[in-house]
Structure 1
Amino acid sequence: MTLVLTNAAPACEERPLGCLRYGCAEYSLTRDLFKELRQMDIRTDCRFFRGDRPCRAHKQTGAHCTDCRSYEKLSERVLIIKLGAAGDVIRTTPLLRRLRQEMPSCHVTWLTDFPELLPSVVDVAVKFSDRSVAWISGREFDLALILDKDPEAIGVGESVLARKKMGFGLDAYGRCRPLNAWANPKFVTGVFDDVSRTNRRSYVQEIFEISGYEFDGEQYWLDVDESKVFQIGGQSPVVGLNTGCGLRWPSRQWPEEYWESLCLSVAAGGAEVLLLGGEQEDSLNKRLAARTGAKYLGCFPIEDFVALVGNCDVVVTQVTMALHVAIGLRKRLVLMNNIFNPHEFELYGLGEIIEPAPPCECYYASECPHDSMRRISPEAVLEAVLRQIDRARASLTNNAGDSAERHRDGRR
């Protein structure tokens, strides 16, 4: 293939395609090039085809579609709309395992506020913005799962074309409505507290039901950047204390003096204490580190925070993103909960939930007039931490035994 340039001065700026259609005097492609382009087989149904730039396989090997060994044919086009919060995005990822099981060749596009939390198995992770909405609106999908009830999410969901839509959409007044029968329970528990209190299904179960599946223990799907390395400590178990609770639900914040007491008690038991949090908890964690000697490495971007949690053996947290990061990384955990239905949390047998005694009278309340988190004592949390440390050690011992057995089998 060649591109023939003439010596004539450029004069076709107003009609840049003229050279292709009418044999422009300034630029012309050879007849051989046109012939080869017409005969070229471009497999736009490949999972790795990008359209506006070379795919990774071509960049690495120089292969064209016809002789490419990486070709993977796509089938169903699936759209997931789950914008936030960050923890909810993570605990929606088990659905990807079922989608890949039921539709192995499906192409998944996910619109979210937190694309950095999505695993690489998502074909196109799109950050919610005016530009991304313009790109998605009007596109065609085989299946659209609109799993948020927020106006902006269901508005986008209404704008896409799909053979089947499940989840939530807009009613005649621009408010949330269920799109399919299996979305009705989640819709009703969202508008009536008394009904929500009686719910015994976890969030993951509800998301699966909305999508037309039955939950079968599918795990979170969370990628970890192995290049992120933190110097935490020696051979002692590492207990991560995630001290914040976010701005939306300040009612779930455990008192600072309780965190201080827990830091000292956990350290006295021989464990390494690692303080976790974001920018909102930075000053709190610095104070706790100064007063207790706990390790605090600072606040990090989300991807680095995930890697940092990966260094923990046990995580203590209120209902925050850290809870779901810990579950995704298969860490032992202690969850402090006061205002949410405890049945909504799928812990996969990785830990336990500690609640006020007596239980908090509030329900999904941003402010708790009873300050019920004070009824979760540091002593009760410490006992739970020690139990989880023992279980983490037992798990490591069992894993070591399994590895040794596999090694012996390999030598036979």
Structure 2
Amino acid sequence: MIVAAAPDPEKAWDSSSSYATIDKRILTPENVEQSLDAAESALRDYVSMLHDGLRPAFRSYFAGDAEGAARHLLVLGEQHEGVGRARGAEQCYKAALMMSLPLADKSLQVLALRRMGRVALALAHLPEATSYYERSAELARDSGDVRAEVAARTGVGNVRMYQGRWPDAERIYREALDLAQTVDSSDATLELGQLYNNLGSATTRTGELDEAEQWLERALAVWEEVKSPIDQGVCLMNLGHLRENQERLAETQEAYEAALALPVPTSFKSLAAADLADIYLKEGFVTRAEEMARVAEEHAIAASSPYSLAYMYRNRGNLARARGHEDGFTFYEKALEIARAKGYPSLEADTLADYAELRRVTGGVEEAEAYLERARDIFAQLGASQNAARVQRSLDALRSGIEVSVAAAGD
């Protein structure tokens, strides 16, 4: 029901309900009936999906077909993921893993571990995600399944990206690409395209923009032939990040709008909408930016994705700052709370740099300086030298009294 909730006036900070975060929302009498109807419909759909998925799994299990039972549970887990039920998917994958352990053929075990890694990543359980992906990669290597090993190692790289460890992620992706190229490329197009996507993102973040351009051109060519909306969406988002770094804002907006229009999960739509809101803001379209930020918020709430929520709240803080509304600090505080709790240091650093600008313009120069110092140190620890240098320039300007924006560039 949280999707239909409204801000709670008793919990809104400074009596400003415009700046209520998800934990300060309530259900109002006007939307309770609608929420109950929606919940009832969703529950019926879920029960139907659960029964339809469990019946064949149980039939296989009681017939002594552990492999069949595991396959059915994996399919059911993917269905759970498709409707945003990550914890339900996790239960299915764990059961499938248990079923697959005694099997001589390790392919199902490899897949179950990889799926558990994906769910753990979605739930922001980053150490667990790494462990699952690494176990899957090792088992795939021992089994001689190169494509499965490539997929698992790509998953490890994805965790590093969420952690903001971009040089590590780039290295892992390159190793996975070298491995993928040892098999027939016609059988590994999807895997290659995903690696091109990821290398384009990693090299953008490390400032290797010319190389990023080449990776994303290769990725776009793959998605013209292979129909995978989520991978195409990732490519477009990465292209938008690259164009933004190149200060080609019109093309950035075009890429984000195209990504948002694809049939992709709600967590992805939230990120795309937040990035689009950021571009509208940079182009001076504040009202359009606020409208898109509300879209990002609704998608983030529906997805229950910690990263999407933190990313969206950082964006809302920037919008509030642009309006000159000091109460927008609540968004920055919430983004920092999530980023720290879930282990997203890069997002924490970006939020601190953005928050510093709000503190500077409201007279909190010492606090702004402390935020920038912490953001710089985080980026330095992550090996993000370009970002660390950018924040240092902002810090130097702040200390010298030069009035410049210290906000981090959106990424």
Q: Which one has a larger percent helix, Structure 1 or Structure 2?
A: 2
Q: Considering the TM-score relative to the shorter chain, is it more than 0.5?
A: no
> Larger % of strand: which?
1
TM-score (norm 1): 0.23
Q: What TM-score results when the alignment is normalised by the length of structure 2?
A: 0.23
- The structure, 1 or 2, with the larger RCO (C-alpha pairs under 8 Å, 6+ apart) is 1
Q: Name which one, 1 or 2, has greater alpha-carbon Rg.
A: 1
